Amino acid sequence: MIGAMTSDSGQPGARTAAVRRPGDTIFRTLTTGAGLAIVIAIALIGIFLLIKAVPSLLVNKDNFLTSANFVTLDPNNLMFGIRDLLIVTVLTSLVALIIAMPVSLGIALFLTQYAPARLSRPFAYVVDLLAAVPSIVYGLWGILVLGPALEPFETWLNATFGWFPLFAKGNIPLAGAGTIFTVGVVLAVMLLPIITSVSREVFRQTPVMQIEGALALGATKWEVIRTTVLPFGRSGYIAASMLGLGRALGETVAVLLILHASPTPSGVSLFDGGYTFASKIASAASEFSQPLPTGAYIAAGLVLFILTFLVNALARSIAGGKAAK
């Protein structure tokens, strides 16, 4: 029979054992080790944060989850909570995501579906270069240029839609525009290259036969995008957006420069000031000389660590669900 396999003994029909080459074994070991190293490193970081945070949490005299206080100067009288930090972090990140997602989607579709090659390549390079701009430059631009430019718009929003809690009067003056809204706009610009780059590459992988088939049936360009490109790249676009959200949650320097501190607790207004998790930790670096006060900030960092994990898990579940459909 043609194609029959023979063993070393020459008996037909006996299947030879697969030969495992040393190079394959070495490569498999290295890749497995690299994957395990990442998992172990993340687990060790989580364990370190937990060990350092527990002593401070045990002596904390306020409710860690609901208190707006963050007083750590006296190790014998620690009173700290993450309510304000969580509100400001979530609001700034959501504003950034709401602005960046549609803009990034439009840029990615333009570069992959409309722009000619001689234009799309240099334009894509320009967008990608935004990711190379240091955070401190974004912070200076936000506080010196964008903030004053947004102040009239924020004043109009507050005067027109002040009845709605998100646009109500905040705990800091609008002058200077060092508000959550300003930070959200700056973070949106910082997220553009991340979301656009990933989405662009995903949209480019749309099968050409599907696009040509839709065009052959008389579909317009928009109908092709709506029925083939967007369904194919939806999960990648969502994953890219969640990747950008992770960047927004952990941004430090730009937020610290722009967002004004406030002596009063934050509400749910976009015109509030305050601190995010990351900027609060960075602003108190000089206090990291005693274990208990340091542990209070490490506890806040642990919450940010968990929050980032939850966001990534949500992104994977959404992307997986969309891909399955």
Helix H or strand E segment including 46: helix 22-59
DSSP output for 76-90: TS-EE--HHHHHHHH
User: Rounded to an integer, what distance in angstroms lies between the CA atom of residue 81 and that of residue 90?
Assistant: 16
| pLDDT, position 93 | 92
| pLDDT, position 6 | 47
pLDDT tier at 221, thresholds 50, 70, 90: confident
Express as a percent the part of the chain with pLDDT over 70. 91
The 8 Å CB, 24+ separation contacts for 128-131 are 128/193, 128/197, 129/193, 130/189, 130/190, 130/192, 130/193, 131/193, 131/194, 131/197
Q: Which domains does the chain have, with CATH numbers?
A: 83-284+308-324 (1.10.3720.10)
Q: Is the pLDDT of residue 288 over 70?
A: yes
Q: What confidence tens digit (pLDDT) does each residue in 196-206 have? A: 998 998 898 88
Mean pLDDT of the residues in the chain: 85
Q: What confidence tens digit (pLDDT) does each residue in 237-258 have? A: 988 888 888 888 888 889 999 9
